[in-house]
Every structure is written in structure tokens, then in C-alpha cells.
Chains A and B, each alone.
Chain A
Amino acid sequence: AQKVTQAQTEISVVEKEDVTLDCVYETRDTTYYLFWYKQPPSGELVFLIRRNSFDEQNEISGRYSWNFQKSTSSFNFTITASQVVDSAVYFCALFIQGAQKLVFGQGTRLTINP
């Protein structure tokens, strides 16, 4: 079975703090893709990143960074020097090539307080 677990339901930090959102996935497939999406208060889902199962290199994009570790089946997302505009619900998702499905985690609601 394919499953994505985001154990942190809600996180609240003060602006400028670093924050890490955890994502653990389950799959028996060897070819899969991992995604992070952001859902701001306006409601739409905004794509952040896609990684395939053969590329474990960490990625940094501005204040965002992602740590992909197949050994622990994790794909964690870190925001450095958080800002109020980062407040949103963040979803981690797993795409299984064979099943052609995108399975989402339950999401983590991140609140950045000024």
C-alpha cells in the first residue's frame, strides 16, 4: 500500500525561526516521485518541488530546502528564517508510477507569528 504520513498536524513558530516539516512515505515500488505543495489561506494548491526516487540529492531554493533520505523513507522540508507569508498548509505527496496516482499526506498547518 502507498501512504504518506505527516505526523505534525500543526506547527507554530515565531518569525525568523527555522522550521522543518516532516514527511514519511510508504511504497514497495522502486520508481516513484515525491512532491510538496503549499496551500495558502486563499485555498489553491501551489507546487513547490518534485523529486524522483533515483535522485537523493538535497535541494535548496532560496529559504526552502528539502532532505530526501530513502533509508528512512523521508522527504522533509525546511524553511529557513521563516516569514509570516509562509503561513499555510503544506502537503507532501507520493506518486506511484505503476498506479498513476498521487497520494497526499494529511497536511501540516504552519503558522508563522510576527
Chain B
Amino acid sequence: DAGVIQSPRHEVTEMGQEVTLRCKPISGHNSLFWYRQTMMRGLELLIYFNNNVPIDDSGMPEDRFSAKMPNASFSTLKIQPSEPRDSAVYFCASSFGGLLNTEAFFGQGTRLTVV
């Protein structure tokens, strides 16, 4: 298995533009997580899907952020409009049965820079 695949690896965009981050979880995993990593706040859980349904989105910072999981093999995290403070590394992770039954496998992350 190729692991969790995120794209793009790096994204540089101008303030105000829409940004879409993509994630392909490991086949067979039914839980998907989006995390954000910054120097100031460390790793923060943004949203968690189970069986394609959003279970907890309390970590989504504001309405500019939205996430979808149209099927078991694909998820997107969208920021519209983007702001410089959104600059961070965004990780996607997947697991089977949430985090109880196995460890979460993380993708390599998308480094987002908003200028």
C-alpha cells in the first residue's frame, strides 16, 4: 500500500485565494483526520470523519475552512478565502475503526504558505 497520499506537497498562494488540499486515505481505512501543524500551536485536530461522515469538526478554526469526504477514498480541505495566518503544514491521517483499534497513519503533509 502506498500509504496516505496528500497533494500538493507544497502550495504557495496569495491572500484571498481559494486553496484546496487533497487526501487519499489508505484503502480499507474508515476514519480520516485532518490536522494542522504550526510552530505556535503544534498539532491540532481540525476535523474527523468516520465512514465518510464528519463526526467532529470543532477544531475547524472558522467558516473559511470546510472539509468534505465524498467517498471512502478521497477527502478535501478547502480554505476560502485564505489568509497569511493559515500558513501551516496540513496533515491527513487515516485509520481503521477510529484510533482505538490501530494507530493512525499520517500522510507527508501539505506545506501551505499564504502570502
Query: Which residues of A are in contact with B by a Cβ distance under 8 Å?
Result: 33, 35, 37, 42-47, 50, 91, 93, 95, 97, 100-107
Contact = CB atoms under 8 A, between A and B. Distances in A.
Given A101-B56, A104-B43, A43 B89 contact: yes
Contacts of B56: 100-101
Contacts of A105: 42
A107 to B, nearest CB: 6
Interface in B1-60: 33, 42-45, 48, 55-56
B70 to A, nearest CB: 22
B98 A44 contact: no
Contact of B42 (A45, A47, A104): A104
Select the residue from A44, A95, A103 with max chain B CB neighbours within 10 A.
A44
28 contacts: A33-B99, A42-B108, A43-B108, A43-B111, A44-B106, A44-B109, A45-B93, A46-B106, A47-B103, A47-B105, A47-B106, A91-B43, A95-B100, A97-B100, A100-B48, A100-B55, A100-B56, A100-B99, A101-B45, A101-B48, A101-B56, A102-B33, A102-B45, A102-B104, A103-B45, A105-B42, A106-B42, A107-B42
Nearest to A31: B100
Chain B residues touching A, range: 20 to 34
A45 B107 CA distance: 7
Nearest to B110: A43
Main secondary structure of the interface of A (DSSP, over half): strand
B91 interface: yes
A101 B56 CA distance: 9
A94 to B, nearest CB: 11
A102 B100 CA distance: 10
Nearest to A105: B42
Contacts of A35: 103
Contact of A45 (B45, B48, B106): B106
